[in-house]
Amino acid sequence: MHYYLQLFARTLVAMALIASSFSVVATASEVQTPAAEIAMWAQQSGVYRYRLGDFEITALSDGTVPLDVHVLLQGVNKKSIDGHLHHAFLNNPVEESVNAFVIDTGKRLVLVDTGAGDLFGPGAGGKLIANLRAAGYEPSQIDDVLLTHVHTDHSGGLIHNGKIVFSNAVIHVGKPDVDLFLNSANQDGVNGYPKEYFEQATACLTPYIKTAQLQPFSGPTQILPGIRSIPTSGHTPGHSFYRIESKGESITFIGDLVHVESMQFEKPKITIQFDVNQAEAAKQRIKQFSILSKSRGLVAGAHFPFPGIGHIGSNNDGAFRFIPVNYRNR
Ligand SMILES: [Zn+2]
Ligand SMILES: [Zn+2]
């Protein structure tokens, strides 16, 4: 039954792709979708496809988690936070999306980040694999995993019950993150940075070191044809963007450059407890906002509201804004 559902989901995705590639507009009477199938689609809202030049991007939701911004945000007082939240029609804790992205290059299937896996516990993240399958892919089909950095909500999905999930993938990650988080001397935590980060990173990456699947890179690197890494240290020392350019368009996967969209665009100096280097993280955010807003290319964020794809605009007064991508469904 389970296999049938997967096959069925894949067939629907394939049908949708065929329809879109031939610009076919099917009328409701031609399709006559039974109510039961509509219900199944309604449960698959964690998948969003986007074409960029020769590449196909699929945003996948790993779920959402509550973020206590009163505790976590730095460089801003509670009154100011509450003002921002009120303005954005949000409440503390803020529901935080955890997004991952599949890139189909035509030759390889590439996954950017892997969600939290089992590590945030039941009901918090861990939905990536179900959504990957709903999009028509098996974990064994992934050829490359690009980690923006090794924090748990990005590398946690690499393992399930301690075992490798992506059996055929090369795992690419900035070497400075491996050097920091897997260093045996740091496993009790360093400079007040909690030991869980080190333990979880070690648990997620070590199985892939044993199978020689882990391939750390240093500096700007051409990872695959059309996909390059851009080092953006601050949030973590090895934090990296991945940028695709194709047929005059671009998309940059910006990982954790932003955690709270409703605040950090307007006030980019606001940092979060998870930043390994607070000052560098704020500086890097302002620098990259400026570059990305001028480039007018797309960005994809790990924690923007799903599907997490859009543009960065500049307000020319030191503030920026996020404009979600215009929805397309044809
Ligand atoms: Zn992070
Ligand atoms: Zn994150």
The pLDDT score that the predictor gives to residue 159 is: 97
Name the domain count of the chain: 1
CATH number at residue 278: 3.60.15.10
Q: For residue 198, report the distance from its CA to the centre of ligand 1, in Å.
A: 13
Within a domain: 12: no
pLDDT at 171 over 90: yes
pLDDT at 17 over 80: no
The answer to whether residues 120 and 126 touch, using CB atoms and an 8 Å cutoff, is yes
Q: For residue 274, report the distance from its CA to the centre of ligand 2, in Å.
A: 9
pLDDT at 311 over 80: yes
Q: For residue 113, report the distance from its CA to the centre of ligand 2, in Å.
A: 9
Alpha carbon 42 to chain centroid distance? 22
- Which backbone phi and psi does 152 adopt, to 5 degrees? -55, -40
Section 144-153 average pLDDT:
98
Residue 301: nearest ligand to its CA?
Answer: 2
**Dist CA 117 CA 127 (whole Å):** 8
* Res. 36 pLDDT band, cuts 50 70 90: low
pLDDT at 13 over 60: no
Cis previous bond, 231, omega within 30: no
Residue 150: nearest ligand to its CA?
Answer: 1
Within a domain: 275: yes
Alpha carbon 268 to chain centroid distance? 20
Within a domain: 240: yes
Within a domain: 238: yes
The pLDDT score that the predictor gives to residue 152 is: 96
The pLDDT score that the predictor gives to residue 123 is: 82
The answer to whether residues 75 and 133 touch, using CB atoms and an 8 Å cutoff, is no
Question: Each residue of 251-289: pLDDT tens digit?
Answer: 999 999 999 999 999 999 999 999 999 999 999 999 999
Within a domain: 33: no
Within a domain: 38: no
The pLDDT score that the predictor gives to residue 65 is: 94
Q: Considering only CA atoms, which of 241, 263, 250 is closest in space to residue 311?
A: 250
Section 192-202 average pLDDT:
94
Residue 153: nearest ligand to its CA?
Answer: 2
Q: For residue 155, report the distance from its CA to the centre of ligand 1, in Å.
A: 10
The pLDDT score that the predictor gives to residue 16 is: 36
Q: Quick one: tokens of 41?
A: 């689609």
Q: For residue 238, report the distance from its CA to the centre of ligand 2, in Å.
A: 13
* Res. 147 pLDDT band, cuts 50 70 90: very high
Domain that holds residue 55: 44-324
Q: For residue 201, report the distance from its CA to the centre of ligand 1, in Å.
A: 12
Q: For residue 256, report the distance from its CA to the centre of ligand 2, in Å.
A: 5
pLDDT at 228 over 60: yes
Q: Considering only CA atoms, which of 114, 110, 197 is closest in space to residue 155?
A: 114
Counting beta carbons within 10 angstroms of the beta carbon of residue 261, is it exposed (0 to 12), middle (13 to 18) or buried (19 or more)?
buried
pLDDT at 1 over 70: no
Q: For residue 21, report the distance from its CA to the centre of ligand 2, in Å.
A: 34
Q: For residue 31, report the distance from its CA to the centre of ligand 2, in Å.
A: 40
pLDDT at 15 over 80: no
Q: For residue 23, report the distance from its CA to the centre of ligand 2, in Å.
A: 37
The residue that leads in pLDDT, 221 or 21, is 221
The answer to whether residues 54 and 226 touch, using CB atoms and an 8 Å cutoff, is yes
Q: For residue 153, report the distance from its CA to the centre of ligand 2, in Å.
A: 5
Q: For residue 274, report the distance from its CA to the centre of ligand 1, in Å.
A: 6
Residue 98: nearest ligand to its CA?
Answer: 2
Within a domain: 39: no
Residue 5: C-alpha distances to residues 44, 128, 139, 309 (Å):
12, 17, 16, 28
pLDDT at 3 over 60: no
Within a domain: 5: no
Quote the radius of gyration of the chain (alpha carbons, Å).
20
pLDDT at 7 over 60: no
Section 284-302 average pLDDT:
97
The pLDDT score that the predictor gives to residue 9 is: 37
Q: For residue 314, report the distance from its CA to the centre of ligand 2, in Å.
A: 24
**Dist CA 73 CA 96 (whole Å):** 14
Neighbours of ion ligand 1 (CB under 5 A): 151, 256
Q: For residue 262, report the distance from its CA to the centre of ligand 1, in Å.
A: 18
Q: For residue 160, report the distance from its CA to the centre of ligand 2, in Å.
A: 19
- Which backbone phi and psi does 277 adopt, to 5 degrees? -125, 100
Question: Each residue of 39-70: pLDDT tens digit?
Answer: 443 335 788 999 999 999 999 999 999 999 99
